[in-house]
């Protein structure tokens, strides 16, 4: 008879857990509660949220920074990642969307001058 273990040892990431993670000699990450969400702790002590995702036609997985930890908390990160996940599902690459927004800002600056 096979036993299946339905319990996992992973805990949901909370602000308290993110604050208490120690900084080490090398960077490391903890997986978040949403697929693709990662919480990175750098040797310098900076704590960053990142999402790892795949786009059709691109061989390697891509990463996008969502923000640094004290500024962007767990709730805000979940809201941002859900928005990005729906964009990816709709076929929109977040990198391309950012490029378009930057070009719009630059065009706005040129028009104002």
Looking up residue 54, the CATH number of its domain turns out to be 3.30.160.390
Q: What is the rounded CA–CA span in Å between residue 85 and residue 88?
A: 5
Q: Is residue 27 part of a domain?
A: yes
Closest to 39 (Cα-Cα) out of 48, 68, 14, 19? 48
Domains held by the chain: number:
1
Segment 13-63, tens digit of pLDDT:
787 888 888 888 887 888 877 888 888 888 888 899 888 888 777 788 888
Q: Is residue 80 part of a domain?
A: yes
Whole-number pLDDT of residue 1: 44
Q: Is residue 10 part of a domain?
A: no
Expressed as residue numbers, the domain containing 55 is 15-112
Q: Is residue 51 part of a domain?
A: yes
Q: Is residue 84 part of a domain?
A: yes
Neighbours of 69 (CB within 10 A): 19
Q: Is residue 63 part of a domain?
A: yes
């Amino acid at each position: 008879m096979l036993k299946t273990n339905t319990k996992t040892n992973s805990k949901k990431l909370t602000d308290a857990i993110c604050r208490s993670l120690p900084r080490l000699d090398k960077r490391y990450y903890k997986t978040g509660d949403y697929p693709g969400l990662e919480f990175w702790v750098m040797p310098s002590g900076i704590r960053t949220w990142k999402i790892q995702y795949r786009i059709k036609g691109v061989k390697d997985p891509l990463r996008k920074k969502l923000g640094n930890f004290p500024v962007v908390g767990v709730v805000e990160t979940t809201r941002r990642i859900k928005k990005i996940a729906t964009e990816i599902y709709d076929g929109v690459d977040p990198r391309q969307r950012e490029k378009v927004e930057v070009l719009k800002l630059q065009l706005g600056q040129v028009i104002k001058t």
